[in-house]
Amino acid sequence: MKKRILLLAGGQSGEHEVSLMSARSVLAALPRDQFDVTPVVISKQGRWLPPTDTARALETGVSVPGGDLVLHRAASAEGYDAVFPLLHGPMGEDGTIQGLLTLAGIPFVGSGVLGSAVSMDKVMTKQVLASAGIPQVAWRLAVRREWGQAPDTVRARAAELGFPLFVKPANLGSSVGISKVRGLDELDAALTLAFSLDRRVILEAMTAHKPREVEVGILGNDAPVASPVGELSFGAEFYDYTTKYTEGQATMHIPAPLPPEVAARVRELGLAAFRALDCAGLARVDFFYVEETGELLLNEVNTMPGFTTTSMYPKLFEAAGLSYSELVTRLVELALERR
Ligand code: ADP
Ligand code: MG
Ligand code: MG
């Protein structure tokens, strides 16, 4: 019997288009002799689009508004064996969809409510990983109300970390709303931007030197495995949205040219983070490596990383001998095993 898979894509976050690209690749790669795949694109307004609009969105990369209410469609999703929620960012990667699917009793690819929600929030992630003894940059939390009512306390908190520092919405991805702040004069604009996107904002110290950015893929449930380590290099000052999504602005190196003991440590810390956050299925764990000091600092954990055929996560497992199509098949198997 073929397994019936519901592939969810698009979604309400700023990473809607990225998700559509990933979904197109997954749709093409799930072996048709094993799976019967139904894609559903979720509009930016959060409505589940009917088949014609879904097909058009996947084809053109642009989705129309309209569509059914979420809960109505979730009820009919009971006819599926598993759901692949290929959604990035808030309302997709953050435990919301995962909660809905858990309530409906349908197995799904990736982390559950807890792992998704904690990993989505950069502050919660840091708190959990700190208690697991995983090295990270120094950071502070600020909430919108403080910024509105006592901006000087927020500015003072930032100054404690020193400049340059990074200001980020706590619950986003793709570098949306992130600023590198070189001095006090740039701080207010960065905070205003971040608070326009999230109630919670994280302030992060930067290492003394521009760090190298290395990433590892984790695959599995309670006995996860780590991929080889990859590295991203780019000319921009940091890995911002334009650098991420403009062809030719960043280069992927697999395996990363690292001393073997550093690569081993990346894999080990990646697995430790996956376990500490109660992730499942897959995650891409990203690190800063400061070559000058040998420091390795965990930056973030992405529970639904970019998934086109040229994205880092699938490329890392391809280097380990698992083809893109074998990888997506494995992810569905892992979802069914977790039942
Ligand atoms: P996102 O979830 O949007 O990818 P990240 O936390 O990974 O957010 O930040 C995006 C990019 O910003 C990183 O890949 C890195 O280039 C830069 N960056 C973020 N935080 C720091 C930091 N503390 N020190 C140095 N660079 C940083
Ligand atoms: Mg991220
Ligand atoms: Mg990142």
Nearest Cα residue to 21 out of 73, 88, 67: 88
Q: Kind of pairing, strands 200-205 and 139-143?
A: antiparallel
Q: What 8-state DSSP symbol labels residue 43?
A: P
- Which tokens is 300 given? 């973030």
* CATH code for residues 119-135+210-337: 3.30.470.20
Atom of ligand 1 nearest to the CA of 286: 7
**pLDDT for res 247:** 86
Residue 71 to residue 77: CA distance in whole angstroms: 10
Whose alpha carbon is nearest atom 2 of ligand 1?
173
**pLDDT for res 161:** 96
Nearest Cα residue to 166 out of 124, 201, 209: 201
- Whose tokens are 């380990």? That residue is 320
**pLDDT for res 68:** 77
Residue 263 to residue 66: CA distance in whole angstroms: 47
The answer to whether 287 and 298 have CB atoms below 8 angstroms apart is yes
Distance 286 CA to ligand 3 centre (A): 7
| Active-site amino acid positions | 15, 174, 245, 284, 286, 300, 302, 306
Neighbour-count burial for 100-133, b at 16+ CB within 10 Å, e otherwise: bbeebebbbbbbbbebbbbbbbbbbbbebbeeee
What is the CATH class of 139-205? alpha beta
Distance 193 CA to ligand 3 centre (A): 18
Our answer on whether the CB atom of 178 is closer than 6 Å to any ligand 1 atom is yes
> Exposed, middle or buried by CB within 10 Å (0-12, 13-18, 19+), for 17?
middle
Classify 215 as helix, strand or coil. strand
State the span(s) of the chain assigned CATH 3.40.50.20. 3-108
**pLDDT for res 77:** 64
Our answer on whether the CB atom of 239 is closer than 6 Å to any ligand 1 atom is yes
Q: Which of the listed residues 171, 238, 252, 293 should we mutate to test ligand 1's pocket, taking the one with most ligand atoms within 8 A of CB? A: 238
**pLDDT for res 202:** 98
Our answer on whether the CB atom of 211 is closer than 6 Å to any ligand 1 atom is yes
Our answer on whether the CB atom of 166 is closer than 6 Å to any ligand 1 atom is yes
Ramachandran class of 294: left when φ > 0, alpha when ψ lies in -120 to 50, beta otherwise: left
State the span(s) of the chain assigned CATH 3.30.1490.20. 139-205
Q: Return per-residue pLDDT of the chain as tens, 339 residues.
A: 899 999 999 999 888 999 999 999 999 999 999 999 999 999 999 999 988 999 999 999 989 887 777 766 665 666 899 999 999 999 999 999 999 999 988 999 999 999 999 999 999 999 999 999 999 999 999 999 999 999 999 999 999 999 999 999 999 888 999 999 999 999 999 999 999 999 999 999 998 788 999 999 999 999 999 999 999 999 999 999 999 988 899 999 999 999 999 999 999 999 999 999 999 999 999 999 999 999 999 999 999 999 999 999 999 999 999 999 999 999 999 999 997
Sign of the C-alpha dihedral computed for residues 195, 201, 205 and 209 taken in this order? negative
Q: Give the distance between the most distant pair of CA atoms in the chain.
A: 63
Ramachandran class of 175: left when φ > 0, alpha when ψ lies in -120 to 50, beta otherwise: left
Atom of ligand 1 nearest to the CA of 204: 23
Residue 252 to residue 313: CA distance in whole angstroms: 11
- Which tokens is 337 given? 């095993």
Give me the architecture of the 3-108 domain, per CATH.
Answer: 3-Layer(aba) Sandwich (3.40)
- Which tokens is 11 given? 């979604």
Our answer on whether the CB atom of 87 is closer than 6 Å to any ligand 1 atom is no
Asked if the ipTM is above 0.90, the reply is yes
Helix (H) or strand (E) holding 277: none
Our answer on whether the CB atom of 206 is closer than 6 Å to any ligand 1 atom is yes
